[in-house]
Amino acid sequence: MTVSTYFLLWVLLSALAPLWIPVAFVVGIFRGCSFVILRLMMFLWAYLATELVGLVAAAGIYLITPGNLERREVLFFRLECWWGNLMFEWLCLFLSLTASIEGEEQILPGPVLVFIRHASIIDTLLPVAFLSNATGLRLRYVFKRELLIDPCLDVAGHASHYYFIDRGGDTDEELANIRQLADNLGERGVLLYPEGTRFTERKKRIAIERLAETHPDLVPLAESLQHCLPPKPGAALTLLDTAPDADVLIVAHRGLEGMAEVSDLLSGAVVGKTVQIRIWRINAADIPQGEARRRWLFGWWKRVDDFVSAP
C-alpha cells in the first residue's frame, strides 16, 4: 500500500508542480515564515523520488544476490548510506540547515553501542549521515514499529539487522529481540534511542511519574533535564549486558529542538538552523556493573542535556 501510495503522490506532485510551486510561493509571501511550506513541499517531492529510486535499487539487490546473504547485506549497507545521506542533504538544501560534528574521531573502531538523543523527526538521519556514511561503521538499529510505514526502511530493515520495536508489546519478548542485535557484533554497532520517543514537556511529566513508582531516587536527576526525556534503561541495559566488551558512543545534538511533530516544522523555526553534534566514547572497562549502570546512564543523559542547554 505504501509503495503504490508513494508512487502516486510523486506522480501527482510532478504533474502538478507548475501549480503548487507558485501557489506555495505566494502563500510564503503572506505567511512570513521563511517560505517553509514551499520548502517542505520541495523536500517531500525529493523524498518520494529518493524512496522510489531506493526501492528499485533494493529490488535489484535481491535479484543479483540469490542465496548470497553476506553480499546482500553489504549492498544494502551501501544503499542505506546513500539513502540516509541523500535525505539529509535534501533537508540541508531545502531548509537551509548547516551541520557540524565534534568527536568524530572517536566513532571507530567497533564494536560499539550507540546511544543517541531523540528530539526531532529529523534526527533519525543523523546516524546514517555522520556515523555510517562518514566512517563505514555498520549499525544495527532499534526503531519503533511506526517507521515501517516508510517503504525503504521496511525493505532494508528486513534485509538487514534492524529491529522494529512494538512499544505496546510484551516487554520480555521485545527485550529478547533487542538482545539478539548485540550478539556477534564484530566491528559493528547497535544504535538505540534511550528516550524512546521525542521530547515534549507532557512526555517528560509522564516519564517522571512512572520513574517515581520504580526508582524514586532518580527523580531529582530526571527533573533537572530541560531538553531531554529521562532514558528508558531497559533496552540500553540489555544491550550492555549482552555486549560487555563493546564501548559506548553517547551522541548528543542541538539545533533541532521544538520540532517533535510535522506541525512544528510549519512554524518555519527550523529554517536556517545549525545542527551541532557531539560524540563521547566510553571504554567498556569504565562502565559500571549491575544496578549502578542505571544511574550511570542517567548521569550521561544529564551531560547530554547540559550540552543542549549550553550557549
Contact criterion met (CB below 8 Å) for 41 and 49: no
Strand order in the sheet with 274-282: 98-102, 274-282, 247-254, 112-116, 189-192, 139-144, 162-165
Indicate the burial class of 144 (C-beta count within 10 angstroms; 0-12, 13-18, 19 or more): middle
C-alpha to C-alpha distance for 301 and 133, rounded to whole angstroms: 25
Stronger pLDDT, 269 or 133, i.e. the higher one: 133
pLDDT digits (tens, 9 = 90+) for 184-214: 898 999 999 999 888 888 999 999 999 999 9
pLDDT tens for residues 7-65? 999 999 999 999 999 999 999 998 888 899 999 999 999 999 999 999 999 999 999 99
- Cα–Cα dist 54/124, whole Å: 17
Radius of gyration of the chain measured on its C-alpha atoms = 20
- For residue 240, how far is the Cα from the chain centroid? 20
- CA-nearest of 128, 163, 172, 127 to 145 is 163
Question: Longest C-alpha distance within the chain, in Å?
Answer: 61
pLDDT for the residue 260? 65
Q: Among 45, 36, 42, 46, which residue's Cα sits nearest to residue 83?
A: 46
pLDDT in tens, 232-267: 999 999 999 999 999 999 999 998 876 666 777 788
Residue spans per domain, the chain? 2-309
Closest CA to 192 of 207, 176, 181, 203: 181
2-309 maps to CATH 1.10.1760: no
Position 257, amino acid: E
Task: Please compute, for residue 247, the number of CA atoms within 13 A of its CA located in the half-sphere on the CB side.
Answer: 16
Task: Report residue 67's pLDDT band, with 50, 70 and 90 as the boundaries.
Answer: confident
Mean pLDDT of 272-281: 94
The Cα 260–Cα 119 span in angstroms is 6
Pairing of strands 274-282, 247-254: antiparallel
Q: Please state, as a whole number, how many other Cβ atoms lie within 10 Å of the Cβ of residue 67.
A: 6
The set of cell numbers assigned to 73 is: 547485506
User: What pLDDT is attached to residue 2?
Assistant: 85
Question: What is the pLDDT averaged over residues 2-8?
Answer: 92
In this structure, of 130-144, 153-167, 186-200, 241-255, the range with the lowest mean pLDDT score is 153-167
Query: Among residues 92, 74, 182, 178, which one has the least CA distance to residue 130?
Result: 92
Average model confidence (pLDDT) across the chain: 92
- Give me 249's grid cell: 558512543
